């Protein structure tokens, strides 16, 4: 059964790896476990170095237990579609067919595209689209995304415009499809793996809100290339349900004047309810189709979604803290961090104990995979 919360959950979550704070543990818990003074900017290792280790270990924990306890976007997951096995099952089940996602603990369906004969139809989230034709992309110099009710604003500039750093911009020098990929990487704040060989980028693209450095664009929007048109960018709101339909998108050309701006509306694409287009059981990672369903064919569903448990159990906090502590011990060759006393457990024995106990905890938390025949 799904647990809503527990008094033992780790809840001191204020993620900033540069200061040693992660999703599953923090520098204070690690220092306490090792029984050493607190990490800071002047210690060795520094709090930023401890934060970097925490970040890596959290990824290893996710891989070991086959799920995440932090919100992760899983993109472009393809699924086949089959109808329910019998009319009786369909009638009483309230669906004509379902798909089992690869990851449990579904939090939000960002994009759900179903093949309907000659194109994919979007069923999820609130979405706006930009189409960069062969000539029009050359004039695009700024994209403005604004949250509902005249909320926080994100201005995305073409390289060289607006006095922004090149890492935080998109490059429109090589063609419409490359530009579309650049814009997606910027909105998703990720390393531009598909375009770096052309643009020479060496770091991930990153864009904070113009109003507050604590809000990043990838917290609110997700961009992807349309499966039927490489020049088309689909921008989905990550806000709950149809709330994103009140977001606004504005395109501005090089002139930068109001008459040269074009507004694109966010449209509510989602009818997610028991008697709607589709509905979901989030903990099980299942999506059920009722009214708008895909063709009965291979790879007829493309799903992008956010999954994560929503709570960090004490066992995951403890295992992560142990693994980070063990990693620090492993690199403490000169016994600067923890000195050998000769009368207690040796550094190697401490490492072995921490590593084994953490691995045993994670083995007990790993999800089992059931094959449905």
Extract the tokens encoding 193: 């793996």
Q: Give DSSP secondary structure letters for 253-284.
A: ETT--GGGEEEEE-EE---BSTTSSEEEETTT
Q: 302 with 319, same domain?
A: no
Helix then strand then coil, in percent of the chain rounded to 5, is 30, 25, 45
Q: 338 with 354, same domain?
A: yes
β partners of residue 74: 305
| pTM for this model (two decimals) | 0.84
Instruction: State the average pLDDT for the chain.
Output: 84
Alpha-helix runs per DSSP H in 36-78: 47-65
Residue 370 belongs to some domain of the structure: no
Asked whether residue 56 carries a pLDDT value surpassing 90, the answer given is yes
According to the model, what pLDDT value does residue 371 have? 47
Residue 170 belongs to some domain of the structure: yes
When pLDDT is cut at 50, 70 and 90, the band that residue 160 belongs to is: low
- The residue segments making up the domain with residue 290 are 72-124+272-307
When pLDDT is cut at 50, 70 and 90, the band that residue 226 belongs to is: very high
**What number is the average pLDDT over the span 30-50?**
92
When pLDDT is cut at 50, 70 and 90, the band that residue 28 belongs to is: very high
* CB neighbours of residue 51 within 10 Å: 23
Q: 185 with 170, same domain?
A: yes
Q: 130 with 183, same domain?
A: yes
Q: 177 with 245, same domain?
A: yes
Q: 328 with 257, same domain?
A: no
Q: How far is CA 109 from the centre of its chain?
A: 12
Q: 212 with 100, same domain?
A: no
Residue 23 belongs to some domain of the structure: yes
According to the model, what pLDDT value does residue 71 have? 92
Q: 136 with 183, same domain?
A: yes
Residue 5 belongs to some domain of the structure: no
Q: Pick the range with the lowest mean pLDDT from 35-39, 79-83, 182-186, 304-308.
A: 79-83
Q: 294 with 322, same domain?
A: no
According to the model, what pLDDT value does residue 41 have? 93
pLDDT in tens, 175-198: 889 999 999 999 999 999 999 998
Q: 143 with 187, same domain?
A: yes
Number of structural domains (the chain) is 3
């Amino acid at each position: 059964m799904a647990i809503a919360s527990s008094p033992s959950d780790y809840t001191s979550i204020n993620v900033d790896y540069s200061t040693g704070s992660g999703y599953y543990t923090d520098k204070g818990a690690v220092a306490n476990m090792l029984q050493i003074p607190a990490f800071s900017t002047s210690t060795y290792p520094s709090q930023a170095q401890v934060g970097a280790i925490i970040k890596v270990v959290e990824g290893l924990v996710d891989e070991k237990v086959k799920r995440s306890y932090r919100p992760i976007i899983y993109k472009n997951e393809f699924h086949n579609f089959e109808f329910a096995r019998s009319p009786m099952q369909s009638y009483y089940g309230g669906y004509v067919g379902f798909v089992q996602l690869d990851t449990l603990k579904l939090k939000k369906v960002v994009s759900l595209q179903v093949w309907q004969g000659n194109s994919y139809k979007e069923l999820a989230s609130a979405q706006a689209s930009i189409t960069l034709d062969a000539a029009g992309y050359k004039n695009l110099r700024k994209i403005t995304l604004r949250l509902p009710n005249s909320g926080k604003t994100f201005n995305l500039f073409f390289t060289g415009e607006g006095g922004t750093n090149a890492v935080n911009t998109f490059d429109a020098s090589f063609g419409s499809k490359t530009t579309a990929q650049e814009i997606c990487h910027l909105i998703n704040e990720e390393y531009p793996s598909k375009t770096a060989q052309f643009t020479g980028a060496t770091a991930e693209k990153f864009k904070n809100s113009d109003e507050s450095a604590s809000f990043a664009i990838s917290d609110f929007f997700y961009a992807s290339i349309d499966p039927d048109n490489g020049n088309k960018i689909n921008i989905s709101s990550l806000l709950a349900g149809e709330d994103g339909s009140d977001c606004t998108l504005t395109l501005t050309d090089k002139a930068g004047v109001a008459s040269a701006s074009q507004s694109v509306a966010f449209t509510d694409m989602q009818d997610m309810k028991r008697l709607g287009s589709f509905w979901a059981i989030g903990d099980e990672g299942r999506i059920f189709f009722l009214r708008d369903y895909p063709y009965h064919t291979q790879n007829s569903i493309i799903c992008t979604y956010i999954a994560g448990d929503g709570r960090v159990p004490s066992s995951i906090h403890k295992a992560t803290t142990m693994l980070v502590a063990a990693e620090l011990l492993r690199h403490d060759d000169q016994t600067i961090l923890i000195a050998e006393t000769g009368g207690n457990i040796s550094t190697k024995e401490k490492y072995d104990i921490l590593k084994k106990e953490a691995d045993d905890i994670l083995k007990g938390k790993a999800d089992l995979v059931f094959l449905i025949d």
